Amino acid sequence: MTTVLPERGSGGERPGGQEAGALGVADHLAMFDAAIAADERIEPRDWMPDKYRSGLIRQIAQHAHSEIIGMQPEANWITRAPSLRRKAILIAKVQDEAGHGLYLYSAAETLGADRDDLLDKLHTGRQRYSSIFNYPTLTWADVGAVGWLVDGAAITNQVPLCRCSYGPYARAMVRVCKEESFHQRQGYELLLALSRGTPAQHAMAQDAVDRWWWPSLMMFGPPDAESSHSAQSMAWKIKRHSNDELRQRFVDICVPQAEALGLTLPDPDLRWNEERGVHDFGAIDWSEFQEVLRGNGPCNEQRVTQRRTAHENGAWVREAAAAYAAKQAARTAADTTDAGAAHPAGADSTGPEQHTEGGPAV
Amino acid sequence: MSAYEQPPGGGTPGPEHRAALALGDDALVLAQRLGEWAGHAPVLEEDVALSNIALDLLGQARTLLSLAGDEDELAYLREEREFRNVQLVEQPNGDFADTIARQLYFSVHQELLYGQLAGGRGELAELAAKAVKETAYHRDHAEQWTLRLGDGTAESRRRMQSALDGLWRYTGELFQPVEGVPADWEALASGWRNVVGAVIEQATLAVPEGPQSSAWSAGTGRQGVHTEAFGRMLAEMQHLHRSHPGASW
């Protein structure tokens, strides 16, 4: 904790943070508010309001879920990638996404959440993931459109999160954003190759952009007037910009990129507004957004089912790893006892080589 | 001989060319199988690990196939009878134990083979020197999971034994001499049996007893005779590339 308020209470032993020891809740809250106002980072053992904790757990978990559900639309093309170079890039990208999921679950666990419990909430539909991953990847060009637009929107959303008030989340986002911007450039480059390729490839790229443009704009969430969590998130500096601000920023970035790609964006109302110095764009179909959020998008059921099936099919593997780890621990304990008898000092006895700590190898 | 079996400059394929094709196809086909796991692994850490291994193998395949010609032409435009991989690597993923057994058998083979080749000269030796480090990691991963599954629960033990038994008859082909690969094949076979046998025993399982080949699997993958599942795998892998002749990606 790097704070100018060294007395800021530790809430580490009581994740609920209700009982505050010598200091009253009001004192802790005042110190928390002062830390937020001073742009300091809140760390896992610091006192924090219950709603700050629970809101962050929800947000980080849903972010983690998005990473792992987001593996599916792209993994859909690994076996069919049209060149070995593209196949390697795609495998590396999907691997990175699994890694991002892992960083983010770890960040959520610093708040007292449990990864298995969060996964269970995903599998039973009690927690969400980004609505964008409920759209299908129908052609190879979709892999490029997802990289350019979906990762582009994600980066626009996530770069400000690198300055989010909760330290572990902010640090995870620094790592995630570096890799994401790499993916985004690769997606752009994929589309560029198609756009400049044969007429059939160009048409494939245009069709993909036409299908992914509006869903990507929806990734920034509902309009500011209807965003339920925004005000509190902004006050706590979890969020730094409003949904509409970020959406506008994204549109302004994409328009020249689309021109450079030689592709059009499917919006007849899209034009530069000289007065405002930004692009005007058409109305988003929020009824579609609501439908997808309600579980009625093209792939909602398929995505969750695949995730749940992978988890259920893997249960015997996880049980085996746990059983093996327990046996190894018991053997090590037995060996230590034996060694202890032979060498009373015990401490520097060299036990048998330990093969594993029980966790899956990475 | 098909057009795609010819070396880059034309002419008759030499032993180095045949060697690069055989080892390159092994790596390519196994990478393709592992790529099917993405998003389906038992834990997220395994999604990372299996993609990591797939990526290493794909990198090896690209280097090797480039020694023999154009990597994409070789990967996407040859038909079933022109692939030179061993039948072991084309076997379907099955359950996690089947995948681990296949990984154990193949990665021990690859580590020992590349270990031998790394001491030699030429492009194959250079590739082997780099790849043997990756392969040691792949072997360790497969070994650790063989121990966990074999010495885990009754269920995992049953599945691991069944996977080892089922794939056993595809292992003989790993020791069939390949033209252009300057290996001591007998030493490879006995080294492989020692390493694999020790892992299986440590996992409290039984070393399979049946033959290490069947009437149709002894060295036939290297001659372009494959199992039925292989054609379907290639159809999926090559479909898009073949649908756009001459396009670049």
How many angstroms away from the CA of A23 is the closest CA of chain B?
42
Residue spans of chain A under pLDDT 50? 1-7, 11-18, 20, 344-362
Cβ neighbours, 10 Å, residue A63: 26
Q: Which residues in chain B are closer than 8 Å to A87, comparing Cβ atoms? A: 35, 58
Q: Give the pLDDT confidence score for residue B178 in this predicted structure.
A: 94
Cβ neighbours, 10 Å, residue A16: 10
Q: Give the pLDDT confidence score for residue A358 in this predicted structure.
A: 42
Q: Give the pLDDT confidence score for residue A10 in this predicted structure.
A: 52
Rounded-to-integer distance, Cα B34 and Cα A86, Å: 16
Rounded-to-integer distance, Cα B176 and Cα B220, Å: 10
Query: Looking at the domain assignment, is residue B248 inside a domain?
Result: no
Q: In this complex, do A355 and B39 lie within 8 Å of one another by their Cβ atoms?
A: no
Q: pLDDT digits over A63-108, tens only?
A: 999 999 999 999 999 999 999 999 999 999 999 999 999 999 999 9
Nearest CA to A129 out of A306, A291, A303 is that of: A303
With the C-alpha atoms ordered A275, A280, A286, A292, is the resulting torsion angle positive or negative?
negative
With the C-alpha atoms ordered B208, B211, B216, B222, is the resulting torsion angle positive or negative?
positive
Query: Looking at the domain assignment, is residue B249 inside a domain?
Result: no
Domain tally, chain B:
1
Show the domain range for B21.
Answer: 3-243
Mutation site for A-interface testing, chosen from B144, B148, B156 by largest number of A Cβ within 10 Å: B148
The upper half-sphere exposure of residue A261, i.e. CA atoms within 13 Å in the direction of its Cβ, equals 30
Is residue A196 classed as helix, strand or coil in its secondary structure? Answer: coil
Mutation site for A-interface testing, chosen from B46, B52, B138 by largest number of A Cβ within 10 Å: B46
Cβ neighbours, 10 Å, residue B212: 17
Q: Give the pLDDT confidence score for residue A20 in this predicted structure.
A: 46
Of A79, A200, A361, the CB nearest to B36: A79
Q: pLDDT digits over A198-214, tens only?
A: 999 999 999 999 999 99
Of A81, A198, A355, the CB nearest to B144: A355
Q: In this complex, do A321 and B152 lie within 8 Å of one another by their Cβ atoms?
A: yes
Which residues lie closer than 8 Å to B193 by C-beta, 6 or more apart? none
Q: In this complex, do B47 and A98 lie within 8 Å of one another by their Cβ atoms?
A: yes
How many angstroms away from the CA of B169 is the closest CA of chain A?
25
Q: In this complex, do B249 and A71 lie within 8 Å of one another by their Cβ atoms?
A: no
Is residue A57 classed as helix, strand or coil in its secondary structure? Answer: helix
Cβ neighbours, 10 Å, residue A178: 11
Mutation site for A-interface testing, chosen from B32, B36, B43 by largest number of A Cβ within 10 Å: B43
Q: Which residues in chain A are closer than 8 Å to B140, comparing Cβ atoms? A: 361
Q: Which residue bears the tokens 């054609």?
A: B231
Enclosing H/E stretch for B200: helix B185-202
How far from B222 is each of A128, B17, B18, B85, CA to CA, in Å? 49, 13, 10, 6
Nearest-5° Cα angle at A8, A7 to A9 = 100
Q: In this complex, do B48 and A99 lie within 8 Å of one another by their Cβ atoms?
A: yes
Q: Are strands A278-280 and A271-273 parallel, antiparallel or unpaired?
A: antiparallel
Instruction: Kindly identify which residue of chain A lies nearest to residue B249, measuring between CA atoms.
Output: A193
Q: What is the DSSP string of A271-333?
A: EEETTTTEEE-----HHHHHHIIIIISSSHHHHHHHHHHHHHHTHHHHHHHHHHHHHHHHHHH
The total number of residues written for chain A in this structure: 362
Q: In this complex, do B49 and A360 lie within 8 Å of one another by their Cβ atoms?
A: yes
Paired tokens of A53 = 């904790």
Q: Which residues in chain A are closer than 8 Å to B65, comparing Cβ atoms? A: 84
Q: Which residues in chain B are closer than 8 Å to A309, comparing Cβ atoms? A: 40
Residue A42 φ then ψ, to 5°? -90, 135
Full-model pTM: 0.90
**What does each of the 249 residues of chain B score in pLDDT, given as a tens digit?**
455 555 555 556 788 899 999 999 999 999 999 999 999 999 999 999 999 999 999 999 999 999 999 999 999 999 999 999 999 999 999 999 999 999 999 999 999 999 999 989 889 999 999 999 999 999 999 999 999 999 999 999 999 999 999 999 999 999 999 999 999 999 999 999 999 999 999 999 999 998 887 766 555 899 999 999 999 999 999 999 999 999 999
Please tell me what DSSP assigns to residue A65.
H
Q: What is the domain-level CATH number for residue B100?
A: 1.20.1260.10
Q: Give the pLDDT confidence score for residue A21 in this predicted structure.
A: 57
Paired tokens of A40 = 């300091």
Rounded-to-integer distance, Cα A331 and Cα A338, Å: 11
Query: Looking at the domain assignment, is residue B81 inside a domain?
Result: yes
Q: Which residues in chain B are closer than 8 Å to A80, comparing Cβ atoms? A: 236-237, 239-240
Instruction: Kindly identify which residue of chain A lies nearest to residue B41, measuring between CA atoms.
Output: A310
